[in-house]
Structure 1
Amino acid sequence: MGTRVIYPAGEREVSIKLSNEGSSPALVQTWLDKGDPKAQPGAVQLPFTLMPPLFRMEPRKGQTLRLIYTGEPLPQDKESVFWLNVLEVPPKAQVSTENENLMQLAFRYRIKIFFRPKALPDNPDAAATQLTWTPVPEGGEMKVRVDNPSAYHVTIVNIDAGIDGKSYSDSVGGMVDPGGNTTFLLKKSAVTPAAGPFEVKYRYINDYGAEINATFPKSK
């Protein structure tokens, strides 16, 4: 199971493969939301059907989810993003005097679903290198603003910035929406700064979940 699923517009459905690599069976619940991690299953109306919503996974076995777009209108000039939730509940343990205080944990995974219209210009990798970066000193802190002029979402996972001879970094990152902007708070770094007044080296995640290096301004 990766970190993202691409749903190309025009496809009847997309398959998502899950696997249980553990030694015990698990009860699994799946649902979608628009980005609110607190949204309960079924609380948000979305233009997708997800099947099956509840199932048992045996150890060392797999399960394929079917994600079906139901046709309600979505923007055609940019990507739309949704979130797939996968909640794994382990089987109830046998209680004995030795483990009567045993705590059982349920594991939840969240995966981005990108609905991608057919006629979008360029491609996601080109979009990630079209970002523009601007230093934003604020109240003794250094921030950097990222503007995304493209029609694609871009997920940043690491930032190393050289600003006026000083080094800054951010390893948390985040996602920049199509046509939107995001501001990241930077921390001072021990990395040798760039020779120029402003340079950013960053990593973004491509469609396959790989981290790709990029630089702003682009090398000529």
Structure 2
Amino acid sequence: MNSGIRTLMMSTSVALAMFASQADASVVIAGTRVIFPGQDKEVTVQLDNAGQLPALVQAWLDDGDAAASPETINVPFTLTPAMFRLDPGNGQALRLLHTGAALPKDRESLYWLNVLEVPPKVNDDANRLQLAMRTRIKVMYRPTGLPGKAADAPAAVRWELQMQEGGKGYALKASNPTPYYVNYGSISLGSTEGTVSAGAGHVAPGSSKLFPLEAVKTAGFTRPEVQYSAINDWGGAMQGTQQITAPAPR
């Protein structure tokens, strides 16, 4: 790879890691997540250039560190092509191959697909600001033979209302007993007193995670319940409610 291009793409990808979104990019990924079945050796991910200009595209996987340089990341997958030109109106299929490296067989593993789009240089306006756009979506490796179904996992999560350390107010604690990642587009605490947002995020298999309730300083709720929107394998939203399984601390 040309050293100038490498420097540009690495520095730009780190700087814009948390700011670019698929909605802003001309190069779009077909889907909001990738499921890699354990029985398959490879999966394909379709990219399309919906813009009016060609783009230089770099694609890579990371294991959770969004700021890591593509050249330093070690993941059990190979992605080809890793860099290419994509003309307007055209598409490109990325091949994601499992290297055969050992992965847990009793639960899903999570990685992230990064697609960095660098627009061509425009010479007609010296004052034009051009930005590279980065899209980052989940890749979930799903071993064969896992019990249950991924679609049923959100309903199996147990919820508690508890005080955060240091007296920082209350949080919802989600405990996921399933072997699947549970992804939430939104989470809130509902009661007869109203609804309070707890943000969004995911809960790893067999793990727990806190979702802070920034506006909640007291546990005085009547009939509290968790209201959520879980995201399925196809990016669709599944609405649900669950009772708090432990008494609210007072």
The alignment's TM-score, normalised by the length of structure 2, stands at 0.79
CA shift at 1:164, angstroms? Answer: 7.7
Moved beyond 3 Å, runs of 4+: 163-167
The CA deviation at 1:165 is: 4.2
The one-letter code sitting in structure 2 at the alignment partner of 1:136 is Q
1:169 to 159, 179, 197: 197
- Contact kept? 1:147, 1:180, Cα under 8 Å: yes
Shift of 1:125: 1.2
The equivalent residue for 1:49 is 78
Corresponding residue of 1:178 = 205
Secondary structure, aligned partner of 2:70 = coil
Aligned to 1:160: 188
Task: Answer whether contact 1:29 1:53 (CA < 8 A) is retained.
Answer: yes
TM-score (norm 1): 0.89
Residue in 1 that maps onto 2:9: none
Q: Distance in 2 between matches of 1:54 and 1:129?
A: 40
| Count of residue correspondences | 210
Separation in 1, partners of 2:242, 2:187: 11
Q: Distance in 1 between matches of 2:65 and 2:134?
A: 14
What is the DSSP-based 3-state SS (H/G/I as helix, E as strand, rest coil) of the residue aligned with 1:84? strand
Q: Is the 8 A contact 1:167 1:188 kept in 2?
A: no
The question of whether the paired residues in 2 share the 8 Å contact of 1:31 and 1:42 is answered with: no
**Shift of residue 144, structure 1, vs aligned partner:** 0.7
Taking a change above 3 Å as real, the CA distance of residues 105 and 179 of structure 1, as seen in their structure-2 partners, is same
Q: Tell me the distance in 1 between the aligned counterparts of 2:162 and 2:139.
A: 31
Letter paired with 2:34: V
2:231 maps to 1:205: yes
* Alignment pair present for 1:9 and 2:38: yes
Indicate the RMSD between aligned Cα atoms, in angstroms. 2.0
Q: Deviations over 1:99-140 (max 9, x none)?
A: 222211000000111000001000111111100110013426
- Structure-2 residue corresponding to 1:214: 240
Verify the 8 A CA contact 2:191 2:222 in the aligned structure 1.
no
Q: Which amino acid aligns with 2:210?
A: T
More helix by share: 2
- Compared CA separation, residues 163 and 183, structure 1 to 2 (3 A): farther
Point out where structure 2 has 5 or more consecutive residues left out of the alignment. Answer: 1-28, 245-250
> Aligned-pair distance for 1:162?
2.8
Correspondence for 1:71 = 100
Q: CA deviation at 1:167?
A: 3.2
Q: Which of residues 96, 106, 110 is equivalent to 1:81?
A: 110
